[in-house]
Amino acid sequence: MPGVHVLLATDADYVVNEVTAALAGPDVSFTVVGDGRAVSTVVAARPPDIAVLDLQVGSMGGMAIAMALRLDESVGALAHVPVLMLLDRAADVHLAKRSGADGWLVKPLNPLTLHRVVDEIVNPPAAADDSAEAIAATAG
pLDDT given for residue 1 in this prediction:
61
Give pLDDT, residue 130: 52
pLDDT score recorded for residue 128: 52
| Extents of the domains making up the chain | 4-139
Is pLDDT at 135 greater than 70 in this prediction? no
Nearest alpha-carbon partner for 68 in 9, 140, 19: 9
Q: What is the per-residue pLDDT for 139?
A: 41
The CA distance from 79 to 11, in Å, is 25
For residues 34 and 56, the answer to whether their CB atoms sit within 8 Å is no
pLDDT digits (tens, 9 = 90+) for 6-55: 999 999 999 999 999 999 999 999 999 999 999 999 999 999 999 999 99
Q: For the domain bounded by 4-139, which CATH number is listed?
A: 3.40.50.2300
